[in-house]
Amino acid sequence: MNITVGWSDAINVVAILVTLYSVWKMQTDQEAARVARQKLLNQQAAEEFDEMARGAASLSMMIRNQEWRQCVELSTDLRIALARAKGSWPGLLTGLEKDKLEVAAKGVQSLAARIPAQGEPDGELLQPMIEQSNLVIDVVAEIAGRLKYTEEE
């Protein structure tokens, strides 16, 4: 039995190989695009959490200095940033990190409620208020660090 391979068969084989290569290339490109998108998201989130940590550090300083007007402004900004982070990055955070974000959001909320509209807060409250803002610094900085580390992996 004779098997004859003509030009048209060769062209068909080449066409199949080109198609397979295109599919493989497309999948690789899609994966590369997905990884790049993920890195970009992580970078954005890390920067936002870094910014929040700096905001919480300023808030802690203002509480120590008992500059209540600035405390109101900073705690409001921080509340907005934390609420936005809860909505923006749930897919990037682990269960424990979601808990940390919840703690930070509730912590700033309760801090804001204790900032006096006029005069001074109860003297006994000052230390727990500083502890609360320090905890917010810690939790958001830890999340920023983990996101940054993942980004550089």
Partner 1 sequence: MSAMPTSIPDVAYHPRHVELVKKLAEKTRSKKISWKASGTGLNATVSGKLEISFVRSNFLTFTKIMSGKSPWVLFTIRDAQGNQVLSIDNPILPTPMEPQVQSAVREAVSELYTAIEHSLAEEIDKAIEVVDRI
Kindly state whether residue 139 participates in binding partner 1, applying the rule CB under 8 A.
yes
Q: In sequence order, which residues have a C-beta less than 8 Å from that of residue 141 and are 6 or more positions away? A: 49, 50, 53
Kindly state whether residue 129 participates in binding partner 1, applying the rule CB under 8 A.
yes
State in angstroms the smallest separation of the CB of 36 from partner 1.
26
Residue 21's identity, in one-letter code, is Y
Q: Supply 10's token pair.
A: 């060769």
- Of 22 and 127, nearer to partner 1 (C-beta) is 127
Upper half-sphere CA count for residue 77 (Cβ side, 13 Å): 16
Query: Nearest to residue 103, comparing CAs of 77, 127, 133?
Result: 133
State in angstroms the smallest separation of the CB of 26 from partner 1.
32
Classified as helix, coil or strand, 81 is helix
**8-state DSSP, 116:** -
Indicate which single residue of 70, 103, 148, 151 sits in contact with partner 1 (rule: CB under 8 A).
103
Cα angle, residue 69 at apex, residues 115 and 76 outer, rounded to 5°: 70
Number of residues that bind partner 1 (CB under 8 A): 25
Classified as helix, coil or strand, 53 is helix
Indicate which single residue of 29, 47, 102, 152 sits in contact with partner 1 (rule: CB under 8 A).
102
- Of 41 and 125, nearer to partner 1 (C-beta) is 125
Q: Interface with partner 1 by CB under 8 A: which range of 45-53, 67-75, 79-87, 128-136?
A: 128-136
Q: Interface with partner 1 by CB under 8 A: which range of 2-10, 20-28, 50-58, 94-102?
A: 94-102
Residues near partner 1 (CB under 8 A): 95-96, 99-100, 102-103, 106-107, 109-111, 113-114, 125, 127-132, 134-135, 138-139, 142
